[in-house]
Amino acid sequence: MKVLSTQKLAEFVKQLRTEKGFTQESLGEKTGINRIMISRIEREDFIPSMPQLESLSQVLNFDLSDLLVEKERTNTFVALRSEALNEAEKEGVDRLFKMMLSLRQQIFIRSSYENETNKAD
């Protein structure tokens, strides 16, 4: 699964902002993002919303897909499930994770749909 890399975002924003001769203040004016938030993005201390990311990508001319990295799978599920005391709890944890995965897929699909709709406009 791909996730947004805050490190890449910070590097892109700072490098491209500097190359284009923008200050944090002027970039903020062009994107509608507060200068303090621009500073926090560059320090990997703030994750902008999708509209803010789109605004940054338009003004600085980069592709949002360049910010995505493959997320490593962890064994959190296994650790949580093994702590369940009985079979009913294990089933409950399994059901909870299935619901979470389903929700994550729905969010991803909705986000993809909205991005395609916005591109068409």
Residues 88, 21: contact at Cβ < 8 Å? no
pLDDT for 85 equals: 63
Domains, the chain, ordered by start: 1-71 (1.10.260.40), 73-121 (no CATH)
pTM of the model: 0.59
Q: Which helix (H) or strand (E) holds 5?
A: none
pLDDT for 121 equals: 63
List the chain pLDDT tens, one digit each, 121 residues.
Answer: 788 889 999 999 999 999 999 999 999 999 999 999 999 999 999 889 889 999 999 999 999 989 988 876 554 455 455 555 677 777 777 777 778 878 887 887 888 778 777 777 6
Residues 61, 52: contact at Cβ < 8 Å? no
